[in-house]
Amino acid sequence: MTTADELISLVRAYNPRSNEKLLREAFAFGEAMHEGQFRHSGEPYFTHPVAVAMILAEQQMDDATLATALLHDTIEDTKASYSEVAKRFGEEIAELVDGVTKLTNLQLTSTQSKQAENFRKLFMAMSRDLRVMLVKLSDRLHNMRTIKSMRVEKQAQKARETMEIYAPLAGRMGMQWMREELEDLAFRVLNPEARNSIMRRFISLQKESGDVIEKITSDMRIELEKAGIIAEVSGRAKRPYSIWRKMQEKDQGFSRLSDIYGFRIVTATEGDCYRVLGAVHQRWRAVPGRFKDYISQPKTNGYRSIHTTVSGRDGKRVEVQIRTREMHDVAETGVAAHWSYKNGERVENRFAVDPVRWIASLTERLDDEHDHDEFLEAVKLEMYQDQVFCFSPKGDVIKLPRGATPIDFAYAIHTRIGSACVGAKVDGIRVPLWTRLKNGQSVDIITAEGQTPQATWIDIVVTGRAKSAIRRSLREEDRERFIKLGAELARVAFENVGKKATQKALRTAAKALVLEDEDELLARLGSAELTAREVVRAIYPDLAEREGDEVDQSRAVIGLSPDQSFHRAPCCQPVPGERIVGITFRGQGVVVHAIDCQALAVYEAQPERWVDLHWQEGKHPATNTVTLEISISNDAGVLGRICTLIGEQSANISDLNFIDRKPDFYRLQIDVDLRDVEHLHRVMTALEAESNVASISRLRDPARAQTTPAKG
């Protein structure tokens, strides 16, 4: 285990004025509190807090953060209390330790609503002091480095959480080195075969072409010497996960993949960066479309650098990053650069982002989200997506996530402009609103008085701000209609379990579902954002589960072996009472099709995958979803009567989607949860008899079929 002297020696190297007494006391207290505790590997537990402190010391963090690292598990895992830590080390360190403890207790990969709630808590902790998250990220990094001592299922859970949450967050904070290492450590757990395959290809490539990195680095140094530029040049192969992601995104094999090597040139001045760029482009051919200038357009986390890709030796593509020493320090440590020390003084790096401003920019649009799912969506969009920079007609720079559209651009300027958008010009040319914007384009939004957001925009936009504004506008526009429709759906759903949808019952359900009030619940129910079953289950979980439970859903199909699971094919959506057949998928169980499903033709040459099946006799629960396609007249109250008719047949609407809106008719798809084929016929007959229904059919779409062949 690293000793206190070794830790202090590392800290003194960058901060000679470090409070040695504080660090020694924190080391001794942490060691005493964790006495007798051991990690899964058998090592003394205190080796972990010390390793976390060393990771932070390598980032040249301040004394309070290092002391927090040494103490970060004391309040949670030992007899130490908040008051004792505060008394010994001060309120600042006690609050940091308490903040890390609270983050540790958040289960960020739990259910969707719980995850959203916990993300709120995570961002609240970050907003109070970003050092809490720096300690937590370092804690996760050391745990991932030593993950092999954990149980296999625990390894997988921690790796997924790291890949989905902590690695993107480290990247968003500008700590790219940590993001890459976290991703690669998680990749090693989640897909070891793929990682090993890439490593083997690397070894083979090195044998074939020798040390490419050393050769190209030497070439670059020679060119810079010719140009009279003093700079540091370094190169490395990209990490296995980074290569794997490129292979997946581009759908290419390793042999066809380019730019698997990256090179970094660190200069003395900003002017030298552009001189280096000229020298590199003069010597090697630049790859079109692979140039980004983050010096003139820095990222929100303070990152500045010039990126270019060139064809190097033997035509191999290599990525080159060019930056100054100050830019490099920020690129290496991100937001943490704000706390960096050199020679005992806090370094004033002019490129380091103020953490208070950074966290405000990340969360400024999130506080308006009262809906948990929308908050979670907005957080992930803010965290995970790379950016493009576009210009307004006045020359203002608008930062957007990759894949953003003119509608996103309009909402980024102002909600009012987004809502009134009717068209857009990109670089002076009129384009469709679904056009994906690119770096450097100029965007001019065309608005019209009286225009309101369209429902189809939800699937076009990518920013959380735009999605939230559109949903809010649509909800307000249709709110009264949805409330009436939701009330009817709730009435039928509650009557199905022998209860009444009273105002008090609905208010209780709204509270359980963390919604503002019963009107909000009914509006979401009417707009198909909630299902009637979810509302009933919120206050009568036993009744909701017990309804029609004569046949166990997990045993609804006969003919499977004990170890086989099944699910209904989305292409034909078979229901009990129909003749069925199963198609086996290795590792995915059996997919159940109706015997007349057109998608079965694909498997005619594979008889060994067919399984003869039939439905269990008895009453099945109304959980078999069937999609009905209906055309109805565009008259007041028609949709409500349709939903009432379905409810009167003891069927539940689980989703409703308008696919075509004309002045006289609406065409929509309704997902109805049914018991069996007889139940389906009753619902369709009742709807067909309605005078305002022009046509009704059961949707069967072969394009929805699962066609991935079984392996082996």
- Asked if 441 contacts 400 with a C-beta cutoff of 8 angstroms, the reply is no
Cross-strand bridge partners of residue 309: 319
d(CA 19, CA 11): 10
Of the candidates 692, 704, 513, 503, which has an alpha carbon nearest to the alpha carbon of residue 593? 704
Q: Which residue has the tokens 């509650």?
A: 494
Q: Is 76 a catalytic residue?
A: yes
Tokens describing residue 600: 């079965």
From 405, 416, 357, 361, select the one nearest 383 (Cα to Cα). 361
Instruction: Say which amino acid occupies 503.
Output: Q
Tell me how far apart the terminal alpha carbons of the chain are, to the nearest angstrom: 47
Q: Which of 104, 173, 110 is nearest to 140 (CA)?
A: 104
DSSP 426-444: ETTEEE-TTPPP-TT-BEE
State the catalytic residue, choosing from 20, 43, 76, 690: 76
Q: What are the backbone dihedrals phi and psi of residue 44, each rounded to the nearest 5 degrees, phi first?
A: -55, 140
Amino acid, res. 37:
Q
Are 267 and 273 a contacting pair, CB within 8 Å? yes
Long-range CB pairs of 560-564 (<8 Å, 24+ gap) are 560/590, 560/611, 560/613, 564/589, 564/590
DSSP code of residue 44: B
* Residue 77 annotated among the catalytic residues of the structure: yes
Maximum separation of any 2 CA atoms in the chain, in Å: 87
Measured distance CA(59)–CA(177) in Å, rounded: 11
Answer whether 524's CB lies under 8 Å from 486's CB: yes
Catalytic residue among 25, 31, 43, 77: 77
Handedness of CA 219, 222, 228, 230 (dihedral sign): positive
Instruction: Say how far apart CA 471 and CA 511 lie, in whole Å.
Output: 21
Measure the CA–CA gap between 416 and 453, rounded to whole angstroms. 10
The SS3 of residue 659 is strand
- As a whole number of angstroms, the distance between CA 340 and CA 167 comes to 22
The separation between CA 581 and the C-alpha centre of its own chain, rounded to angstroms, equals 37
Query: Is the Cβ–Cβ distance between 347 and 243 less than 8 Å?
Result: no
In whole angstroms, what is the distance from residue 244 CA to residue 246 CA? 5
Give the pair of three-digit tokens for residue 604: 């005619």
Q: Which residues of 458-493 are buried (b: 16+ CB within 10 A; e: fewer)?
A: eebbbbbbbbbbbbbbbbeeebebbbbbbbbbbebb
Residue 29 · residue 10 · CB < 8 Å: no
Strand ranges inside 618-704, DSSP E: 624-633, 652-661, 665-674, 693-698
Side-chain-facing half-sphere of 330: CA atoms under 13 Å? 25
- Here the tokens at position 179 are 């993001």
Q: How far apart are CA 78 and CA 29, in angstroms?
A: 11
Gap between the Cα atoms of 108 and 162, Å rounded? 10
Contacts of 706 (CB under 8 A, 6+ apart): 569, 570, 585, 591
DSSP class per residue in 545-586: HHTT-SS-GGGSEES--TT--EEE-TTT---TTS-EEEEEET
Supply the DSSP string of 383-446, one letter for each residue. Answer: HH--EEEEE-TT--EEEEETT--HHHHHHHH-HHHHHTEEEEEETTEEE-TTPPP-TT-BEEEE
Active site positions, annotated: 76-77
